[in-house]
Structure 1
Amino acid sequence: MRIFEERRQKMLTISPRLCKFLIETTKTADIEAAFSKIFRDYIDLKLKYLNETIKYFEEKWGMDFESFRKKTKSEYSYEVEKDFWEWEEAESLKKYYMEIKNSWM
């Protein structure tokens, strides 16, 4: 299997044993299809986790992230700060993984 980098070509070698395992595990016809399936499943799992994290914070605070950002702009408690950073990270990563998913699939 070959993977191309932007400025230079590199060939990635995958052992026949690993190829066979990936094809059998994913029940696909070839290694490219196996990697596509694994990648798609990985993105879907990441998005599921991020959506659950976002839902947790929305339920905890009773609002969406933008409303939380505005409401707590001048609040400086440990809980607010901690939740803000975790929630912001989940929102940012969700956007990032959605962009990858939309460009890939």
Structure 2
Amino acid sequence: MNDATPTMTLSPQTSLLLTQITATPDLETALWRVLHDYTGLKTQQIRQQITAFETKWGMTFDEFSQRCEHGTLGQDPYAYDVESDYWDWEKAVTLLGHYEALQARWM
């Protein structure tokens, strides 16, 4: 079994761009900074999307899901608009959990 750490080679242009964007001369530090900032922006965007759904429906996703399941939503849970919101909202909640787990590993 090979326990070697995988390595990645970046082009000189990519390396230069990363260090210039982050104003950091160390490539690894620059890459971590970009990844950290990217995940921060993604979680912020996803939280805004979740907040929009919570505002629209007046409840959390868990409540929405339960009410769809029990038929107490007040709307047909199989209507296109309701189902579309359900799948988009579920995707946002799942992605938020994924990005937050990644961020927790770095801290």
Equivalence map 1:83-94=2 (5 Å) = 83-94=85-96
CA distance in 2, matches of 1:10, 1:66: 40
Question: How big is the shift at 1:7?
Answer: 5.9
For residues 44-101 of structure 1, give each alpha carbon's deviation from its aligned partner in whole angstroms, at most 9, with x where no partner exists: 1110111011001000000011110111224211111100000000000000110000
User: Structure 2: which 5+ residue stretches go unaligned?
Assistant: 72-76
Give the TM-score normalised by the residue count of structure 2.
Answer: 0.84
* From 13, 16, 20, the counterpart of 2:12: 16
Q: Over the residues paired in the alignment, what is the CA RMSD in angstroms?
A: 1.7
Question: How big is the shift at 1:18?
Answer: 2.2
CA distance in 2, matches of 1:92, 1:61: 18
The answer to whether residue 54 in structure 2 is matched with residue 49 in structure 1 is no
For residues 12-32 of structure 1, give each alpha carbon's deviation from its aligned partner in whole angstroms, at most 9, with x where no partner exists: 222233212211110113001
The answer to whether residue 82 in structure 2 is matched with residue 80 in structure 1 is yes
Q: Aligned in 2, Cα 1:33/1:9: closer, same or farther, shift over 3 Å?
A: closer
Query: What is the match of residue 74 of structure 2?
Result: none
The structure with more strand, counted as a fraction of residues: 1
- 1:11 aligns to what SS in structure 2? coil
Size of the alignment, in residue pairs?
A: 100
User: Structure 1: which 5+ residue stretches go unaligned?
Assistant: 1-5
Give the TM-score normalised by the residue count of structure 1.
Answer: 0.86
Query: What is the match of residue 70 of structure 1?
Result: 66
Q: Which moves more between the two structures, 8-17 or 27-36?
A: 8-17
Percent identity of paired positions between Structure 1 and Structure 2: 35
Moved over 6 A (4+): none
Name the structure, 1 or 2, with higher relative contact order (CA <8 Å, separation 6+).
2
